Structure 1
Amino acid sequence: MVGLLCLLLSSVALAERHHIVIADTQLQTQIDGDLSDPLWQHATVVDLTLQNDPGENTPAPVRTTAKVIANAETLYVAFIAEDPDPSRIRAQLTDRDKIWGDDLVGIKLDTWDQARLAYQFFVNPYGVQLDSIENELTGRESEAWDGIWQSAGQITASGYQVEIALPLRLFSFNDRLDEQRWGIELVRFYPRENQYRLSATPVSRNQSCRLCQMGLATGLAGAKPGQQLQLTPSLALSRHESRPTPDDEWRRDDSVEPALDLRWAITPDTLLNATINPDFSQVEADSGQLDVNTTFALYYPEKRPFYLDNADYFETLRNLINTRNLASPEYGTKITGQRGKHLFGLLQTKDEKTNFLVPGNLSSSIAELGQSSDNFAARYLYDSTASWSLGSIASFRSSKDYQNSVVGLDGQWEITAQNKIKALYVRSETRYPDFLRDQFCGGDTPCDQPDKVECSFGDCDYNEQVLRLPVGETLKGDLLRVALYHNSRHLFGYANYERIDEAFRADLGFIDQVDFAKGAIGGGYIWYPQDHFFHKIQLGGDVDRSENIAGEKLEEEIEFSGFVAGRNELFVELYGGLREIAGRRQDASNLALKDNAPMFDETWLGLYGELRPVKPLKFGANIRIGDDIDYANNQLGEVFQINGWVNWKPHASISLNASHIHRTLDVPGGQLFAADLSDLRLHWQFTVRAFIRMTAIYTQLERDPALYRYNRVDRHSERLSAELLYGYKVNPQTVFYLGYGEGQFSDDEFRDLSSDSRTLFAKFSYAWLL
């Protein structure tokens, strides 16, 4: 009965879909923002008459006209975006993918019409591009994907207009059809007193699936995507100098690193990627993170094009494939594709370093194997295109005396338009080399049988990871996650359960906690006031409990939050909670929690807000006060943290992004530490292609050594990392970079900031489209 109801609902939805017939042409056009070319006289015209947000399918406040037409090689899209006051148009000449917040027009395309993945292409009034892939399974949008396409824009007396050319080689689709049937949505973002989202397609808040609500585009008869053969050779040159202290001599390392990427559509629905010596290119510094009073490893996103292309194919409910773990790959191959209802992906890489996480339930650390490894990942997903999907995931890492394998199943069932269930089950098998444990031991601490020697808190030179690396054993463990979601117009809720065995490892992924089971339930209510300063109000909360696999409590927590969103991009959220949480173990040689890890009662309160008072300026701040564990001394302290940020665009070519974090922790006896992190990024874009960027990340840590009962620490430490970069981009793969970076530090011995590293580097790459 439920299946029949879903089928009927799907049929009704299909019948009501906004339908666009893409006009055919033999003509081509120059992409310059001028819409007087003959090609546009024959295009299909679509008016964007609806406002999806903040109103729900109410009349659009301004007129927007889109035009769509295609020839055998290219899909062309144009927008005429009228504006009653063009002086209020927000547009920045900046690097690609950095234009959120500007006036934007764009198109979303689901080339298989299966409501699972959608390409997104947006352009601001200056023609600056943003592209991404929206994944319905994970609910995330990835801006990491970069396609090679054309766009141009012009600001006019009545608004602005944009031209877009999307080569069909960008897409995978079924070329065996007489006529294509693609999901489509034409969108305009109109940021004024509100951030308006305009479209030709109605979007219901009473349906959780967004891609299911896209319109239907037909046409492109006989379309062929071509072989999409792309060769991108590159050359990275660098001179790196370093020294341990200011009293030491500089050590120099010159590097010449050639690389080659290949991208080839073997068939219209199967893509081959290959790479030799991919690199990070040092062109964009990771965002600064405070690594103080933490017990779990920090996460950093992937940036290398080879691993980013079609990375969505490998995503599941958990991060089981995290290619940032591949620290120094020699070469790699990847095949991804989709044939009808079947999606698949294969990834192979040779890594020279082999780094991975060693997780526990109270901490995690990175281990370095120091030898090359073979790495392999596989993904398969069957998408019924109705209401369910079922897939499998696998990964393997192996080296001398080391092996990790992960195999599992995942699936999703959309029970109704408002309710869905997702599940993941994975099993792993791991064997570590005997010497790996030594990385986490030190001093006179015995490392051969650490669980046989009592080691009280503060007297151990090793941590939890020593006990998570048994010698001569093969670890076998499971991961299970089940989640139920409800999303309707006013109500949202979820319930999930996750269990990860103590012996589970996903060394090619980012699973930083094991040996725990957690259940959580939460939800809330949303109001949408009409014709009011506030256009959205939400209240919600959740409760959860975590235990180790032996049933001992790790954490029990209650959280609440509420926010209002209104004009001028105002957003204010109040949040807080209380929990009972385990501290560090008193006897580090024993993994038990009961009568070993003290439980602490924490209460906290936070306030977050952001606002755009005038067009070129937006700022925000987050304040948090309450309790926090002092992990160095295993006691409860009081934390105060404020994060502030500002985005300022004083000129159409210049933007400044600055953020600052200030955190203090007070404990019995005084202030344990005060930490500050400043992240400053100044961007000057000369043209759509050329820019200069300056980045500076500054960290300062002041501590009271007398309050650290078990560790010797510096009273003062500073770190400054700065980089100046010139870039010229013809497209995302045809680039030239020239930059200089320097790192400086100070501590109790060297009080003044002194350089300990400096790097001069250049990179050239060119994408040949064959």
Structure 2
Amino acid sequence: MNLKTLLLIFLCTYSFSQENILNLNKADESKFVLDGILSDNELENSVELEIIYEHEPGYNISPSYKTTGYMIYTDTFLYVGFKAYRDEVVASIHPRDNRSLFDDDFANIHLETYGDARNNIGLTSNLYGSQADGIRVESTGYSGHDSGWTLDANFDFKSLGRYTDFGYEVEFIIPFSVIPFPSGNNQRWKINLSTFYRDITKQGAKSRVYSSKQDRDNTCKLCQIDHTIVMNDIKIEKNFDLLPYISSNLSGERTKYYDRINFLTPNLEYGIGANIELSKNLSLEATINPDFSQVEADATKIDINSPTAINYPEKRPFFNRGIDAMDYALDVFYSRSINNPSFASKILNQGKKSRLYLLSAFDEETPYLVPTQHESFSGVGGKSFSNIIRYQNFINSNAQIGVLSSNRSYEGGAYGNLFGVDALFKISNIWKFELEYFVNSNKEPIADWIESDKKFGDYTVRLDGEKISGSALYAEIRRETENWRSFIQYTDLSAGFRSDNGFITENDLKKYSFWHSHYQFPNSELLKNYRISIRQDFEYNQNNDLSRSNFQAYIQLLTVLNTNILYNYEYNFVKTHLDAKFEDFTNHWIRMSTRPSSFLNFSLFYTWGPDISYRDLKLGDRENINFSVEVTVNNNFRIKPSISYSAIKELDGDDFYFKGYIGRLDLRYQFTNDLNLRFISEYNDFSKKFFFQPLVSWTPNPDTIFYIGGNQNAIQDFPDYNSPHYVVNKSQIFLKFQYLFGL
């Protein structure tokens, strides 16, 4: 048998679930009214789909409660209704994509419109019409811990429901214009309907029930959809959207505690964006003088003992559309590295077996990141121009390959170029192989953006025009069955590897990781499921000097009241940082989340044991605590206090290398799904600063937004100020109005 024949057999090896064809009936649009009521008129000639497979805590068993889905379509949208028969229903009003929605009872639709397992689209709603939507890609998380879902994507669908005497019902209207799918008036989409609820017959366990069977002996989670809906003679409308905005802010500060706040002249900004669909597969998006401000204030992360830069999730809609194409194990692309663009454009072409993503942007204030083996150094500089080209070919649902070309050019002739290839192969149902390889070529700016006299190898951290090149390799082979899950990972980053449009914080390393887990699903009254895992890591530099070696053991269990407990034991054989080397020490962490009632949610993460104080290059006694509580006062009002504490104490003394905390309080009143009032306050003990932000926002769809609010920053550190009270040193009032016009 020759190589060509073997390759053909491999590429044609599929791991599909059994396919059931559902030919949907077509109806006139006038029959449908989004009022939360599944009327007989709307359900006439609809195709029923029973949601009958409990995936968790059971495994393809019959659920405790019945749920039925109903599907029908018109020229321009897909209609899906759910009737959920329940003894108890938990639901309240949430802002879009707020994760608190997933503690409610809700209905969910999974769509796979291309048939090549590139992604799944998820559309979620509870009975109040509170929504979430997202994209799922093949995950690379430890032993499947990462589900692959992200809520970054936005699809403008409609939903509404109501309480009924049998439980609740909810209806979805999904316009064809908001969902990506192959060109053509006749469509075949894979669909999986599901519902989540607290099962009072199983000690309040959270049950996940689907219309498709689950196969725990299959690594391809995106392939496990049993039903295909067929819709013929639909109308494809080409969107042409304009998104103008206007925003203003008024800022001021005081330098002496007895002064008034000196406000500057109000700042007025305006700009416009456009999204043009040249075809169903090809869209062009551009924005001039964009305002990429985000409504939500990022929760501050403790970075006092982090030797590398810390990243934050992307919340800007322009960058989130199509972002699943840029999903990498190595952080070679980080959209927030495009910091303050004056112009940005994007082309997204999604074909039947391929996808092309092109992004260009002029950045007025460019972040710059220099990684080394143990540390990273960052600063913000001047103007730059970025180009990113990403191409993927989906050979079939078990094989895909891709390429990436990324460039960033700076004033003065500096540049950062990166090119790479990647591949994902599902060798069989239980085996999966993933590969990424990149090379880079950089010329640093000559600038004072980073102040450091440190060196790495033959290079300096300071930006002095050096030319640097490098490469990176990531490879993983994974095996997953119902009870056993294992992987081997290899990561190799040369001393010169970096990505100017990414977030690479370390290099000069070769890392080997071995992971093995055992899962059991007893689904008893006290124990729903558990796993035991072990992991071994070896990390070397490029000279093959051992820099880190550790062994970890995990125990995770799901018990009553939706209580999830994960304990980690770590033994460090060797851990180095710069010239310091520490051997043979043990630390621990435990993570616990529970929802003992429908209105109360707890989360705790606690770390203890010796660890390195990176600023002091000493080994100390570490203690980290992250604790949060979310209280649902009623259907509209939620309170969420949280605290993050971090300290390292001398092993042989009572002094601390550092100690502090960040406390945060989030109060939110949701008038409707679109309108909310929120107050955020935060105290940072490390910087001795207090922050307060009131905000009113109105978001009738993912792109239209109006908000008005303010920021108040208070400190004690004024000259000649001896009072314990905090005084506002900076104040800001801001507003923004952005409206989507569909032409």
Q: TM-score with structure 1 length normalisation? A: 0.90
Q: Which of 590, 594, 600 is equivalent to 1:611? A: 594
Kindly provide the amino acid, as one letter, of the partner of residue 42 in structure 2.
Answer: L
One-letter amino acid of the counterpart of residue 199, structure 1: Y
* 2:680 is equivalent to residue 695 of structure 1: yes
Write the letter of the residue equivalent to 1:548.
N
Distance change >3 Å, CA 5–CA 55, structure 1 → 2: farther
Give deviations 1:566-598, integer Å, cap 9, x for gaps.
23111112211021455543xxxxxxxxxx433
Offset, 1:747:
4.4
Letter in 2 for 1:22: L
Check if 1:767 corresponds to 2:728: no
* Partner residue, 2:603: 620
Distance 2:424 2:572 in 1: 32
Q: Distance in 2 between matches of 1:532 and 1:295?
A: 45
Q: Which amino acid aligns with 1:265?
A: E
Question: CA separation in 1, counterparts of 2:715 and 2:149?
Answer: 37
User: Once the 2 structures are TM-superposed, how far is the Cα of residue 243 of structure 1 from its aligned partner?
Assistant: 4.0
Partner of 1:593: none
Shift, 1:244, TM fit: 5.0
1:488-530 CA-to-partner distances (Å, cap 9, x unmatched) read 1000111011111111110101111111111111111000003
How many Å apart are 1:162 and its aligned residue?
A: 0.6
Aligned pair partner of 1:185 in 192, 200, 216: 192
State the SS of the aligned residue for 1:568.
helix
The percent of aligned pairs where both chains have the same amino acid is 24
What corresponds to 1:395 in structure 2?
Answer: 406
Deviation at 1:261, TM superposition (A): 2.1
Q: Is the 8 A contact 2:89 2:105 kept in 1?
A: yes
Q: Counterpart amino acid of 1:182?
A: W
Please list, as runs of the form range in 1=range in 2, the aligned pairs for 1:156-175 lying within 5 A after superposition. 156-175=164-183
> C-alpha displacement at 1:433, in angstroms?
2.0
Which of the residues 666, 686, 689 maps onto 2:671? 686
* Residue pair 1:49, 1:59 contacting (<8 A) in 2 also: yes
**What amino acid is the match of 1:298?**
I
Map of 1:419 onto structure 2: 431
Paired with 1:118 and 1:213, the residues of 2 have a C-alpha distance of 10
Q: Flag the 1:19–1:584 CA change in 2: closer, same or farther, 3 A.
A: same
Moved more, 291-300 or 467-476: 467-476
Partner of 2:213: 202
Q: State the SS of the aligned residue for 1:58.
A: coil
Contact kept in structure 2, 1:740 and 1:761, CA below 8 Å: yes
Aligned residue for 2:318, secondary structure, equals helix
Deviates more, 1:565-574 or 1:280-289: 280-289
Q: Equivalences for 1:687-766 in 2 at 5 Å?
A: 687-701=672-686, 717-747=687-717, 752-766=725-739
Q: By how many angstroms is 1:189 displaced?
A: 0.8
Distance 2:393 2:385 in 1: 28
Change (3 A) 1:255 1:496: same
Deviation per CA, 1:703-747: give whole Å up to 9, x if none: xxxxxxxxxxxxxx4111111011122212122111111112234
Distance 1:35 1:291 in 2: 51
Distance 2:7 2:372 in 1: 42
Shift of 1:341: 0.9
Distance 1:208 1:168 in 2: 30
Displacement after TM superposition at 1:333 (Å)? 0.6
**1:141 and 2:141 equivalent?**
no
Measured in 1, the distance between the counterparts of 2:256 and 2:62 equals: 65
**1:48 alignment partner in structure 2:** 51
Q: Which residue of 1 aligns with 2:524?
A: 531
1:338 to 339, 350, 357: 350
Aligned to 1:488: 481
Out of 216, 226, 232, which is 1:221 matched to? 232
Query: What is the identity, as a one-letter code, of the residue corresponding to 1:476?
Result: S
CA distance change for structure 1 residues 66 and 250 in 2, over 3 Å: closer, same or farther? same
Paired letter, 1:276? I
- CA separation of 1:411 and 1:253: change in aligned 2, threshold 3 A: farther
Matched letter for residue 380 of structure 1: Y
Contact kept? 2:589, 2:605, Cα under 8 Å: yes
AA aligned opposite 2:64: P
Residue 507 of structure 2 is aligned with which of 514, 525, 535?
514
Could you tell which deviates more after superposition, 30-39 or 90-99?
A: 30-39
- Cα deviation digits, residues 246-283 of structure 1 (max 9, x gap): 36763525211112222222111112211122334341
1:112 equivalent in structure 2: 114
Do the aligned residues in 2 keep the contact of 1:224 with 1:268 (CA within 8 Å)?
A: no
Distance in 2, Cα, partners of 1:304 & 1:688: 20
1: distance between equivalents of 2:627 and 2:115?
42
State the SS of the aligned residue for 2:102: coil
Compute the displacement of 1:117 (Å). Answer: 1.0
Change (3 A) 1:633 1:530: closer
Residues 464 and 637 of structure 1: is their aligned pair in 2 closer, same or farther, counting only changes over 3 Å?
A: farther
Q: How many residues align?
A: 719
Supply the AA of the counterpart residue of 2:74.
N
Instruction: Please name the residue that 1:589 is paired with.
Output: none
User: Equivalent residues in 2 for 1:426-465 (5 A)?
Assistant: 426-436=438-448, 439-441=450-452
Q: Distance in 2 between matches of 1:464 and 1:631?
A: 20
- Partner secondary structure for residue 30 of structure 1: coil
Helix, strand or coil at the partner of 2:415 = strand
Contact 1:103 1:190 in 2 (8 A): yes
Aligned partners of 1:420, 1:244: CA distance in 2, in Å? 59
Are the equivalent residues in 2 in contact too, given 1:24–1:219 (CA < 8 A)?
no
1:444 corresponds in structure 2 to none
When the two structures are superposed, what TM-score results if normalisation uses the length of structure 2? Answer: 0.93
Question: Is residue 33 of structure 2 the alignment partner of residue 30 of structure 1?
Answer: yes
CA apart distance, 1:365: 2.1
Aligned to 1:665: 648
1:72 aligns with 2:75: yes
Which residue is equivalent to 2:335? Answer: 323
* Residue 707 of structure 1: aligned partner: none
Q: CA deviation at 1:67?
A: 0.8
1:354–1:272 CA distance, 2 compared to 1 (3 A) = same
Greater displacement, 36-45 / 522-531:
36-45
What is the SS of the residue equivalent to 1:281? coil
Change (3 A) 1:219 1:350: same
SS of residue matched to 1:127: coil
Q: How does 1:362-373 map to 2 (within 5 A)?
A: 362-369=374-381, 371-373=382-384
How big is the shift at 1:470?
6.7
Name whichever of 662-671 and 263-272 sits farther off.
Answer: 662-671
Q: Is 1:259 aligned to 2:262, yes or no?
A: no
User: CA, structure 1 residues 373+33, in 2 after alignment: closer, same or farther (shift >3 Å)?
Assistant: same
The aligned counterpart of 2:313 is 301
Structure 1 stretches of 5 or more lacking a match? 442-446, 452-462, 586-595, 702-716
Conserved 8 A contact 1:236-1:281: no
Q: 1:41 to 1:562 in 2, by over 3 A?
A: same
CA contact (8 A) 2:705 2:738 kept: yes
Q: Mapping of 1:222-241 within 5 angstroms?
A: 222-241=233-252
Matched residue, 2:564: 571
In 2, Cα distance between the equivalents of 1:69 and 1:465?
66
Cα separation, partners in 2 of 1:581 and 1:354, compared to 1, 3 Å: farther
Q: Hey, what's the Cα distance between the residues in 2 that align with 1:465 and 1:118?
A: 46
**Contact 1:45/1:68 (CA < 8 Å) preserved in 2?**
yes
5+ long unaligned stretches in structure 2 = 141-146
Shift of 1:245: 5.5
1:692 CA drift (Å): 0.3
- Opposite residue 743 of structure 1, the aligned amino acid is N
* CA offsets 1:187-223 (integer angstroms, 9 cap, x no match): 1111231111111111111111111011332322123
Does the residue aligned with 2:44 lie in a helix, a strand or coil? helix
Q: Residue 42 of structure 2: SS of its match in structure 1?
A: helix
The CA distance in 1 between the partners of 2:518 and 2:255, in whole Å, is 56
The residue correspondences of 1:526-565 to structure 2 (distance < 5 A) are 526-565=519-558
**Paired residue type of 1:90:** V
